[in-house]
Amino acid sequence: MAAPLDPLAVTTASLLAGASLAEEGRLPALAGWPGLAVLVARVHQAAFDDPALHASLAEMRLAPTDPARITSLANAIAARMGGDAGLQAELQRLLDQAQQHPTAGGLVTQVAGQAQVGTMVTVGEAGDFHFHLPAAPALTTLERLRRGEVGVSVANLPPRNLAFTGREHQLAILAERLAAGTAAAVVQPQAVHGLGGVGKTHLVLEYAHRHLDHYCVIWWVHAEEPLAIPGQLVDLASRLGIPAAADQAQAVQALWDELRHLDRWLLVLDNVEDPEDVRPYWPPGNGHTLATSRNPAWSDLAAAVPLDVPPRAEAVAFLHRRSGVDAQAAATLAEALGDLPLALEQAAAYLEETATDAGEYLDLFGEHAHDLLDEGRPATEQTIATTWTVSLQRLREQAPSAEDLLVLCAFLAADAIPRALLTGHPERLPERLATIACDAIAYQRSIRALRRYALVKASGDELSVHRLVQVVVRAELGADRLRSWVATALTLVHAAFPADPTHSATWSSCERLLPHALAVTGHAEAAGLGPETTVQLLNRAALYLWERADHRQARGLLEHALTASEARLGDDHPDTAATLNHLGLVLHDQGDLAAARSSHERALHVRERRPGRDHPDTGLSLNNLARVLRDLGELDQARALLERALILFEACYGTNHRDTTWTMHNLGLVLHDQGDLATARAYHERALAIREALLGPDDLDIAWGLNHLARVVSDLGDRDLARQLLERALTIDNARNPDHPNTARSLSDLANILAGQGDLERARDLLGRALAIRKARLGPDHPDTQQSWQNLAAVVAALEHRGQSG
């Protein structure tokens, strides 16, 4: 095989070829570097008395993208540099200069860096040199924002309320406080604590729209359900071009790290129930943060801006602007509605849509207010109930199916309801609603009818309903209708939520449906309905959070699901076993081995009886319990369980199945611990070969298998091969999952190999990164974190000893 080419010679040859392309106008970035002419002249000078170099230069200029001619030139430059140290130094100086150039620097650095590691250029068996000159990568939005490019912005604001009136004093307070560098939370005073519909969201939305030109990033987060907040922040990170990470907490932290370099951003957390819910997601203080909440207790996070119903004059101005009502009639109507903005909006929508005058509307309002008056009902709920009922009477005449749509939405999360939720599973809907779900025009007509009466808002492919409207809609249903609609909403979300959330391809769907799954399971539990479906949906939501390395939240959901399953389904129900199995996985990852063992043993006990000893679910429990037993040092028992599981999976699925390969890998781990290295290696290699055929070479499962094969290979004495396997595993992890505990495992194992080979500096760097990941994700007291501390301390001590010896 031909010897590798000198990286400096390769880079110089590439740049000389690029010079020819620049002359043709095909590489403008390189043409902008003045040193290019100096580089060309210096190589031509060296070629004056070097026939081989002269010939190679001439040949290259005839075909500057021909790999063979560029290879020949690189070889000639390398040979010349071997006898001319001055040429080598001058070429290096020109290269260093080029890398600092504002126009050509990026391209030159790319060429030089990839030539150094051999990824841009390929030297084959015959010494052929494949030269590729890719286009410079497009800048991410974040990079463009950092450069201060004009016209670059990121925003996901809901549509502006064009009828917004008044509130100038509160808007001025927001602007003043945010300009002073503090965060502000729009809350109601204690006197009206719990009041909805007062206009908090619209106030903040108006502020954001008025200040669009001030910010380069404005991001709106629906914060009612805390578990859904990280996914929305990850969406912002993606829009900015921050590399994706499976671990949501790390992705959010990466977002904060980047936002610290910007100062013109606004984050809105809308409808926070409790400030403590958003504390883990509170952004850095160099930008602007706004929250809306019914809770006034924000003293340590934000300055409170009390918001009450608007003055009568503003309510009257709104009605006049929105529906043309004269001042006297508007004042009478505003008084009847208690000046509540949500009620004003619904009344104005009715007046506009039906061409009813204010007096007639007041008569209708009075009639229904008397009908709906319930002792003990809050005044705001009574007001909304009345305005809603007035609108609904007219709505039933025009679009009766629209009422069904509104009632369904009352049992989902209030914001970001996907329109496709209904169209994707019409078979789960009542007949009238299923009919419009299958007819795009009828579906749109129903949405339009709800919008006309201000009962829903529509943006893009999503709907939203005010929370107070949801409360009133649910309250107006009789017990039987309420239970029927809860069952409908539950089965609909269950059908839509991915059955296997452990695959990354499902994560976007899981993220979008998570708040609706949590909302509808809460309603189902309150109504005592659908225990099996409820438990299954909670399990899917928890598995999604576990796969995103949000172990704390996943554990909370699973413990809740387990309590519900045991109470409603019984200790021996398959769904109880599934919940125990999933809880065991989370507990294991949290390092609570005793609790994980108990959970898996209980799951296995149930599954061996139902669905049976030879069912694949039983095989999963055998696998998972064996993993815990291995970590507890009970190797013989772990091996027996895995051998039984392998027989079971091969009988059910055959060899070429993901679950079969997992069992092979786990069995290989136990055999490794028992000292049977040859057999362990055989299992790992066999499982890897099957997985690569099933999943491709770059799947995260492949990285996991490479890591464990490398451990066996290392203990068999082949450290070089172990290093190659770990380098490949880390490449996959870095590309797909850079801040996950599994990546920390690859970092640690590679560092141990490097330390054993004497590369202490790189081992120290890798161990430092592994420690940072484990501290952030697993906590300082987790056994893996403690092991990282010890390994890093040992390498640092070895470096200090080397320095003293030197």
How many residues does this entry show for the chain?
806
- 337 domain-assigned: yes
Q: Which two tokens stand for residue 619?
A: 């095989």
Q: How far apart are the first and last CA of the chain?
A: 38
Q: Which two tokens stand for residue 575?
A: 């769904």
Residue 165 DSSP SS3: coil
pLDDT (mean) for 183-206: 57
Q: Which two tokens stand for residue 772?
A: 């940072």
- 768 domain-assigned: no
CATH number of 561's domain: 1.25.40.10
Q: Nearest-CA neighbor of 595 among 643, 786, 603, 574?
A: 603
Is the pLDDT higher at 373 or at 337? Answer: 337
Is the peptide bond between 611 and the residue preceding it cis, with omega within 30 degrees of 0? yes
- Which residue among 398, 428, 450 closes a domain? 398
d(CA 53, CA 250): 52
Q: What is the pLDDT of residue 456?
A: 85
Q: Nearest-CA neighbor of 740 among 792, 684, 784?
A: 784
Tens digit of pLDDT for each residue in 43-75?
888 887 777 888 888 888 877 777 677 778 888
Strand partners, 268: 220, 290
d(CA 369, CA 86): 95
Q: Which two tokens stand for residue 186?
A: 């729009």
Contact assessment for residue 601 and residue 625, using Cβ atoms and an 8 Å cutoff: yes
Q: What is the pLDDT of residue 615?
A: 95
Q: Nearest-CA neighbor of 776 among 413, 257, 270?
A: 257
53: CB partners within 8 A, 6+ apart: 43, 46, 47, 73, 76, 77, 79, 80
Q: What is the pLDDT of residue 510?
A: 94
The radius of gyration of the chain's CA atoms, rounded to the nearest angstrom, is 33
d(CA 262, CA 260): 5
Average pLDDT, the chain: 83
Contacts of range 441-448, beta carbons closer than 8 Å, 24 or more positions apart: 442/401, 443/419, 445/399, 446/399, 446/401, 446/402, 446/405, 447/402, 447/405, 447/419
Query: What type of residue sits at position 613?
Result: R
Q: What is the pLDDT of residue 193?
A: 24
d(CA 519, CA 516): 5
The rounded Cα 314 to chain-centroid distance in angstroms is 42
Q: What is the pLDDT of residue 378?
A: 57
- The answer to whether residues 214 and 321 belong to one domain is no
d(CA 394, CA 780): 61
- The answer to whether residues 325 and 301 belong to one domain is no
Q: What is the pLDDT of residue 369?
A: 62
Contacts of range 756-760, beta carbons closer than 8 Å, 24 or more positions apart: 756/719, 757/719, 757/723, 760/795, 760/798, 760/799, 760/802
- Which residue among 306, 326, 361 closes a domain? 306
**% of the chain surpassing 70 pLDDT:** 90
Confidence of residue 153 (pLDDT cuts 50, 70, 90): confident
Angle (CA) 56 62 63, round 5°: 95
- 474 domain-assigned: no
Q: What is the pLDDT of residue 296?
A: 72
- The answer to whether residues 289 and 188 belong to one domain is yes
- 692 domain-assigned: no
Strands (E), 204-264: 217-222
Q: What is the pLDDT of residue 805?
A: 62
CB crowding 52-91: b at 16 or more within 10 Å, else e? ebbebbebbeeebeebbbbbbbbbbbbbbbeeeeebbebb
Task: Examine the pLDDT at 253 and tell me if it is beyond 80.
Answer: yes
d(CA 209, CA 161): 10
- 265 domain-assigned: yes
- The answer to whether residues 269 and 333 belong to one domain is no
Structural domain tally of the chain? 4
- The answer to whether residues 130 and 66 belong to one domain is yes
d(CA 597, CA 626): 9
Is the pLDDT higher at 725 or at 126? Answer: 725
- The answer to whether residues 175 and 301 belong to one domain is yes
| Cα atoms in the Cβ-side hemisphere of radius 13 Å centred on 433 | 24
Residue 338 DSSP SS3: coil
Tens digit of pLDDT for each residue in 514-558?
999 999 999 999 999 989 999 999 999 999 999 887 888 999 999
Confidence of residue 127 (pLDDT cuts 50, 70, 90): very low
Task: Examine the pLDDT at 481 and tell me if it is beyond 90.
Answer: yes
CB crowding 437-462: b at 16 or more within 10 Å, else e? beeeeebeebbebbbbbbbbbbeeeb
Is the pLDDT higher at 478 or at 642? Answer: 642
Angle (CA) 539 541 545, round 5°: 110
Task: Examine the pLDDT at 442 and tell me if it is beyond 70.
Answer: yes
| Cα atoms in the Cβ-side hemisphere of radius 13 Å centred on 763 | 23
Is the pLDDT higher at 229 or at 153? Answer: 229
Tens digit of pLDDT for each residue in 654-706?
988 989 999 999 999 999 999 999 999 999 999 999 988 888 888 878 888 89
171: CB partners within 8 A, 6+ apart: 203, 206, 207, 210
Q: What is the pLDDT of residue 585?
A: 96
- The answer to whether residues 214 and 123 belong to one domain is no
- The answer to whether residues 492 and 553 belong to one domain is yes
Query: What type of residue sits at position 725?
Result: L
Domain that includes residue 43, residue range: 7-135
CATH number of 241's domain: 3.40.50.300
- The answer to whether residues 553 and 508 belong to one domain is yes
Which secondary structure element, helix H or strand E, spans residue 304, and what is its range? strand 303-306
- Which residue among 285, 306, 327 closes a domain? 306
- The answer to whether residues 231 and 339 belong to one domain is no
- 161 domain-assigned: no
Confidence of residue 564 (pLDDT cuts 50, 70, 90): very high
- 328 domain-assigned: yes
* CA 493 to each of CA 489, 513, 604: distance values in angstroms, whole numbers, following the listed order: 6, 8, 29
Strand partners, 760: none
Is the pLDDT higher at 641 or at 504? Answer: 641
d(CA 684, CA 117): 29
Confidence of residue 131 (pLDDT cuts 50, 70, 90): very low
Contact assessment for residue 642 and residue 626, using Cβ atoms and an 8 Å cutoff: yes
Task: Examine the pLDDT at 190 and tell me if it is beyond 60.
Answer: no
Helices 85-99, 7-23: axis angle to 10 degrees equals 60
Strand partners, 91: none
pLDDT (mean) for 766-773: 88
Q: What is the pLDDT of residue 315?
A: 85
- The answer to whether residues 185 and 103 belong to one domain is no
- The answer to whether residues 292 and 339 belong to one domain is no
- 160 domain-assigned: no
Per-residue DSSP letter, 740: S
How buried is residue 271: exposed, middle or buried, by Cβ count under 10 Å (0-12/13-18/19+)? Answer: buried
